[in-house]
Amino acid sequence: MLMPSQGVRILVATKPVDFRKGHDGLAALVQSTLAEDPFTGTVFIFRAKRADRMKILFWDGSGLVMAYKRLEESTFTWPAIRDGAMTLNRAQFEALFAGLDWRRVRSLEARTPAVAE
């Protein structure tokens, strides 16, 4: 399964995109619409007009990777449609990818433990 490592930026393009676009078309959208660099390792998530489809694009250091997911019996819970993108943390991304309501997911914030002497 495709899961970004901890600490990787995850951005959701909130406006639906033309799902006929492939690697290069989505990378061009990242640059022109989101004003981001598609070759930094950031994970970009795109939605179709139909809420049951997502595409994921990221640079793995040697090439652009694109994944496509379609839910069979439900729809993804997408952010409100507006210009730009919004950031998800890894737990929210995993919930979105699984078809769950990512808005109900909160990451645990662990403080750095003190060293015992």
- Structure-token pair, residue 68: 């496509």
17 burial type by CB count under 10 A (0-12 exposed, 13-18 middle, 19+ buried):
middle
The pTM of this model reads 0.84
- Structure-token pair, residue 90: 């890894």
Query: What letter does residue 6 receive in the DSSP assignment?
Result: T
Domain boundaries, the chain: 10-104
What is the arithmetic mean of pLDDT over 23-31?
Answer: 95
CA distance 49 to 68: 14
pLDDT tens column, 38-89: 999 999 999 999 999 999 999 999 999 999 999 999 999 988 888 889 999 8
